[in-house]
Structure 1
Amino acid sequence: MTARFSRGAAVALTLGAALALSACASGSAAPEETAQADSGTVTVTDNHGEVEVPVNPKTVVALDNTAFDTLDEWDVELAAVPKDVMGSVWPDYTENEDVANVGNHREPNLEVIVAEQPDLIIGGYRFADYYDQIKEQNPQAAVIEIAPREGEDEFGELKRQTEILGQIFEHEEEAAALNDELDAAIAGAKDAYNGTDTVMAVNTSAGQIGYIAPEVGRSLGPVFPALGWKAALEVEGATNDHQGDDISVEAIAASNPDWIVALDRDAAFVPEEREPGSAPADELLKNSEALRNVTAVQQDQIVILDSDFYLTEGIQAYTELFEQLQEAFSAA
């Protein structure tokens, strides 16, 4: 990534200049101290409250998948990431041997974070349960969680996350542009929907089709209120379980949706890492005996999310999804 090389060169020049100045004046601050003083700090409000964070921190650890697209896009170097839950989406991090591996959220190696002595840790999302432990183990670091909060508007939360990252890494204009692109994509997808067609959201994994509840369901649930979709099926007590709620395919078929929008959970992983019995979502839906007479299948009104969506779920992923939905609904 050329931008990372350029940043490294700039840092080298800055440190060289600082060393020259320190040789001319006794009692001057060390180069590292001068760089940190020049960068300053910014106070952000994360999911827990106000946190003072260094601007352009020297050593950063990130655990939140929803932030990786933005960090990668801005060429933010990371010292450690959870490579085991990143698939092949971010090779700049996962294939870089200089980036340490925290593992996965079920059995993370938190000592890896400690060893890097980070100035900033972007936690949360799948790693939210470890917040207190990470803070205790890394007293020198600013620890923030800025993933979308449960019960809040998903897309307002993604914009908040992007704004905070823009403040920390001095990419405020780029952050504003990302937020504007999301707003435009939502508006376009909303205009393309006729307001009457019924929509069913599902996910697929290990050859199974699962129901995703409107509003509360993982990934696709928030899209319903954002676009004013009319749900084909609403189940009392539905959850945001990432596996999907235990609703039969027959019940999905009985609701006869005009559209089916599907998240393929297995597609983000290489074949050898997929669940046994997995098959592409499009194949599962179109070959399902129970769904064969459903309007969405009959009229080929099926939208399959990007194969990496299950791992990303950030502002770029949703922007692309809304653009995809606009195109599909406009063409119907």
Structure 2
Amino acid sequence: MTSLFRTTAFAAALFASAAVLTPVAFAQDKVITHAQGETTLSGVPAKVLVQDWAVFDDLNALGVTVAGLPSSNAPTYLADKIPADALQIGSLFEPDFEGIAAAEADVYFIAARSREAIGTSKDILPTIDLSVDNGSIVDGVKKNMTTLGDIFGLEAKASELNAALDAKVAEVKAAAEGKGNALVLVTNAGKLGVYGPDSRVSWIYNEVGMPSALENVKDGDHGGDSVSFEFLLEVNPDWVFVVDRDAGTGENAGAAAALLDNELFNQTTAAKEGHVVYVDPQASYISMHGYQGVLLLLDQVLAGLNS
């Protein structure tokens, strides 16, 4: 009886031990839902590759070190945050898959410009698509921060950052109240376009709440909805926020200001009242879904509205 009791007790102890240990083992694997499905990660990623500047912006805000980055179009506001020894893994549109495979990283983040990479990259390493819908940028940024916080065990930090973003949006919204309507202009190789509520800076309309001076806008990928100076004068917006695409892509800094120094534009209410705000061209065109970039743009809009 004593031997049987000891055997039974030993078996029970083993079972209890397994019951305690098994959930921990399973907890190491985490399924992440993203824009192109689900990806399983084993533990917290140590070596991270990023093919998108907005995602790098988010990771930097969280304090996550990145090992591999795009080789081009780095936004100026992120320049001093880029690790000197970071691997260059191709352009925003054309990843270097050989370099990515050789890096032996734990996770690879893509987004809008690089989203097609998943067809190849998913067979190399865990790939997560953090693309954001332009029609709901602030919500998309917050969702990505929450996802990244979950991946890296930084949930509290992500929640803190999201609360700060909500507070900033509320501050800008309060400043915009009663200030009139707005147009977001994009200048592109000497041409004028208008960005609307589905554009790269849609939060000016959708979250900050400034009504568009144009009822219908057909957002274009690059140059917006094409307009003329005569049309701008006819629409006569109260406020104009300017995205200089040429400067954003590093082609011709200051092109927007030169183009808008125009007799017809200078007759608009926005121009006459000094209500023309030039927003950071790279934050608004290259990394428009990045946490720090959105905060930078919100601060610029706030400063303009309060000037």
1:148 counterpart residue number: 132
Q: Counterpart amino acid of 2:298?
A: F
1:224 counterpart residue number: 205
Kept in 2: contact 1:69–1:316 (CA 8 A): yes
Alignment equivalent of 2:172, drawn from 189, 213, 221: 189
Alignment length (residue pairs): 281
Alignment equivalent of 1:263, drawn from 222, 243, 251: 243
Alignment equivalent of 2:110, drawn from 100, 112, 123: 123
SS in 1 for 2:39: strand
Alignment equivalent of 1:299, drawn from 249, 273, 294: 273
SS in 1 for 2:186: strand
Alignment equivalent of 2:192, drawn from 191, 205, 209: 209
Q: Percent of aligned pairs with the same residue?
A: 27
2:144 counterpart residue number: 161
- 1:150 deviates by 5.5
2:157 counterpart residue number: 174
Deviations 1:250-292 (A, max 9, x none): 21222001100111223346xxx414xx53434432x122201
Kept in 2: contact 1:88–1:94 (CA 8 A): no
- 1:298 deviates by 0.6
Q: Counterpart amino acid of 1:142?
A: P
1:17 counterpart residue number: none
Deviations 1:200-226 (A, max 9, x none): 1011233433221x2112x22232021
1:73 counterpart residue number: 61
Task: Indicate the RMSD between aligned Cα atoms, in angstroms.
Answer: 2.5
Larger radius of gyration: 2
Deviations 1:36-67 (A, max 9, x none): x7993433221123322244312211112211
1:248 counterpart residue number: 228
**Which segment is superposed worse, 257-266 or 49-58?**
49-58
1:59 aligns with 2:53: no
1:319 aligns with 2:301: no
Unaligned 5+ runs, structure 2 = 1-24
SS in 2 for 1:267: helix
- 1:240 deviates by 4.0
Q: Counterpart amino acid of 1:47?
A: A
Unaligned 5+ runs, structure 1 = 1-36
- 1:94 deviates by 5.3
Alignment equivalent of 1:288, drawn from 262, 273, 286: 262
TM-score normalised by L of structure 2: 0.82
Tell me the distance in 2 between the aligned counterparts of 1:85 and 1:111.
21
Kept in 2: contact 1:72–1:92 (CA 8 A): no
Tell me the distance in 2 between the aligned counterparts of 1:125 and 1:76.
21
TM-score normalised by L of structure 1: 0.76
Deviations 1:120-172 (A, max 9, x none): 01112210122212213x1xx22111221355x22111101001111122222
Distance 1:73 1:249, change over 3 A: same
Q: Counterpart amino acid of 1:318?
A: V
Tell me the distance in 1 between the aligned counterparts of 2:220 and 2:43.
35
Q: Counterpart amino acid of 1:308?
A: Q
Tell me the distance in 1 between the aligned counterparts of 2:225 and 2:68.
34
1:32 counterpart residue number: none
